[in-house]
Structure 1
Amino acid sequence: MGLFSFIKGQFIEVIEWMENTESIIYQFPAYDHAIKMGAKLIVRESQAAIFLNEGQIADVFGPGTYTLSTQNMPVLTALKSWAHAFNSPFKADVIFVNTANITDQRWGTTNPVIMRDQEFGIIRLRGFGKYAFKVNDPALFMKEVFGTKSHFSPEQISGTLKSIIVSGVSDLLAESRIPIIDFALHYDELSQQGITKFQSQFNAIGLELTIFLIENISLPEDVEKMIDKRSSMNIAGNLDAYMKFQTAEALREAANNPDGGAAGTGVGLGAGMAMGQIAGQMMRPDPVQSQTPSQVPVPPQADHTVPCGSCQHPMSPTAKFCSECGAVRAEKSFCSECGQQLEPGMKFCSGCGTKV
């Protein structure tokens, strides 16, 4: 078996990776790390091939088909000091790297992000979403991340990438100065800004952030309840009617409490009476609004002028002296027989004819 594998290794003609694994990298299984000079190398789209010589990166190949020779392996040729092309095997490690998008990666805040909002003051936020990345520099990715591993899955780096994103999201939300009520209107803009903000950190390890999505930014439950109450008040419009409605709902719940015992019975009776009063108040029409224009009381008008007792010049009801003759305004007098009010200047009672 060992001899057969050795002989087979000497005649490896095709080096390729048919992707059937979720790993980002694939180490080609060459026997004793021996590759025949003149073999064919096939690198498919969304792949890259890294040749290692004694642990050192010798050459990196992009998509295409290559015949291994000193002409297209300049670095390895220099390391081996080959002056001429020949078909003798050489020892090297070949690592394929998947450069396609690694999609459906999730991020989310483990702990709430504390920030200051213009309307609500200091608040705590949580957020989550998705992102995608790909390898854009295979050699750098190998040096900084996976080294010489023969298997490396996205899960092995997702923790690091998630930390980069969550840390950056905190700054992104704070720097945007967008009110929390309006965050939903700016998810697309914030996502694009996030790609720009995080890209340098991804590039530092040979990766590229291709997609960053904010799916939701949520508030603590107590803050959301306060927002719901404020919305309800705005919808209700009439604060008095809204308060009556809220009181009626609270009393109804108290009256329907089956576990209240004697206290619950008392509350139920009181709730019933209170609900009746509230219903009566809500159903009772406004006394002013329900009256017709003819029924609305009209404020009393001022009395007509009265004649002066001396010169009969018209006098204001509130005047004490006549503006014409200066006489003192006569006080009201009544008939001694029938009690009829006597106007100034009258010589006989208009009610009974008695002489004044």
Structure 2
Amino acid sequence: MSFFKNQFANVVEWEEFRDDMIFWKWNNREIKKGSKLIIRAGQDAIFINNGKIEGIFKDDGEFNVESEIVPFLSTLKGFKFGFNSGMRVEVLFVNTKEFTVRWGTQNPVLIPTPQLPGGMPIRANGTFNFKVNDYVTLIDKVAGIKQSYLVDDVKIRITSVLDQLLMKWISREGKDMFNLQANSAEIARGIREDLDMQVMDDGLAITGFQVMSFNYPKEIQDMINKTASHEMIGNLSKYQQVSMTDGMASGKVQGAGAASDMAGMMMGMNIAKEMMKNMEEGQSSSAPVSGGGNSGGGAKKPNFCPNCGAKNEGANFCSNCGQKLA
């Protein structure tokens, strides 16, 4: 007898569960007497009749539809199962977790900037988070026409407007185009608020938006790195001298014809100029103060050898090249 009693019974459950699925609809079947409802952790079950929500069940477990579910359905609580008849309702299973999605600009976003008439081409990447927020709106706008809904469906919608939002929030209030990472939190906050308004009509909520990095074209990134190096050196003239000296010492500044010869000659002239300047400063700083008479010590000896520039300690001859100094 029990066989005949339960031969039409079925199990109402999410049969095609996937981590990237937002909801799945159990429909086009009749719930018979003795049927069971199975709700797993992280799922809610929504009973729908003629497009109207009859009841929402959030506790996970196994439930008898006739005795534990029907009494709580809003307009179907008086429904009685017959031997050959059942109840035709849709059951929408909703994934209640918060989804995390990676995003990235497929093409560079041209940010208007005075320095570049065509705009600054910038790429960006990061993550955003969302979850189902409003079941009534979700059923009215999405579940009413779809059998299931995937994370990729939401990602496509988000990325379709992301370029415009990046342009809006990067250009806002004259942000430094060459140091966008410093403003990434503010930019992300503005984009999250705008995206939340976009998906609110589907019963979803954007719970987080993060910008991991902004990427410039290689030429601009090289320029940023070079500018940073100059600022770290502090003295641009000294940096140029050091760079040229390093280049010649390493053999990089050679064999380039007239340009290389000119660079070497300019460097030599600068070095000679600095040497003469140092000699003159040393001589003026060590010149004796006139005392109004001659002590008879003979002719004054120079502090530096006029032939090789070596420092003199009062000797008559240069200790480096032998030049007579007296």
Whether TM-score is above 0.5 comes out as yes
Aligned residue pairs: how many? Answer: 276
**Matched letter for residue 295 of structure 1:** A
**Do structure 1's residue 238 and structure 2's residue 235 form an aligned pair?**
yes
Change (3 A) 1:289 1:44: farther
Indicate conservation of the 8 Å contact 2:46/2:57, yes or no. no
Distance 1:8 1:165 in 2: 53
Q: Which residue of 2 aligns with 1:87?
A: 81
Change (3 A) 1:156 1:146: farther
**Do structure 1's residue 201 and structure 2's residue 189 form an aligned pair?**
no
Change (3 A) 1:268 1:296: farther
SS at match of 2:108: coil
Q: Which residue of 2 aligns with 1:59?
A: 54
**Do structure 1's residue 110 and structure 2's residue 107 form an aligned pair?**
yes
Q: Does 1 or 2 have the higher relative contact order (CA < 8 Å, sep 6+)?
A: 2
Indicate conservation of the 8 Å contact 1:140/1:206, yes or no. yes
Aligned-residue offset at 1:201: 0.9
- Equivalent in 184, 188, 200 of residue 185 of structure 2: 188
Q: Which residue of 1 aligns with 2:94?
A: 97
Distance 2:166 2:261 in 1: 55
Q: Which residue of 2 aligns with 1:47?
A: 43
**Do structure 1's residue 15 and structure 2's residue 12 form an aligned pair?**
yes
Indicate conservation of the 8 Å contact 2:48/2:55, yes or no. no
Distance 2:5 2:269 in 1: 102
Change (3 A) 1:193 1:183: same
Q: Which residue of 2 aligns with 1:337?
A: none
Deviations 1:150-175 (CA, angstroms, capped at 9, x unpaired): 44332233111112333222212222
Distance 2:163 2:34 in 1: 49
Distance 1:294 1:178 in 2: 55
Aligned-residue offset at 1:7: 8.7
Indicate conservation of the 8 Å contact 1:107/1:128, yes or no. yes
Greater shift, 139-148 or 190-199, is seen at 139-148
TM-score (norm 1): 0.62
Q: Which residue of 2 aligns with 1:73?
A: 73
- Equivalent in 12, 26, 29 of residue 24 of structure 2: 26
- Residue identity over aligned pairs, in percent, reads 21
**Matched letter for residue 61 of structure 1:** I
Aligned-residue offset at 1:114: 1.7
Deviations 1:161-195 (CA, angstroms, capped at 9, x unpaired): 11233322221222243323443233223323322
Q: Output the aligned Cα RMSD.
A: 3.9
Indicate conservation of the 8 Å contact 1:107/1:166, yes or no. no
**Matched letter for residue 169 of structure 2:** L
Aligned-residue offset at 1:275: 5.9
Deviations 1:180-238 (CA, angstroms, capped at 9, x unpaired): 34432332233233222221111111111112001112333333333333333333333
Match runs of 1:218-297 below 5 Å: 218-248=215-245, 252-255=251-254, 286-291=278-283, 293-295=285-287
Q: Which has the larger radius of gyration?
A: 1
Distance 1:265 1:223 in 2: 29
Distance 1:150 1:267 in 2: 72
**Matched letter for residue 87 of structure 2:** F
Greater shift, 208-217 or 150-159, is seen at 150-159
TM-score (norm 2): 0.67
Change (3 A) 1:250 1:145: farther
Indicate conservation of the 8 Å contact 2:100/2:129, yes or no. yes
Q: Which residue of 1 aligns with 2:120?
A: 123
Q: Which residue of 1 aligns with 2:323?
A: none
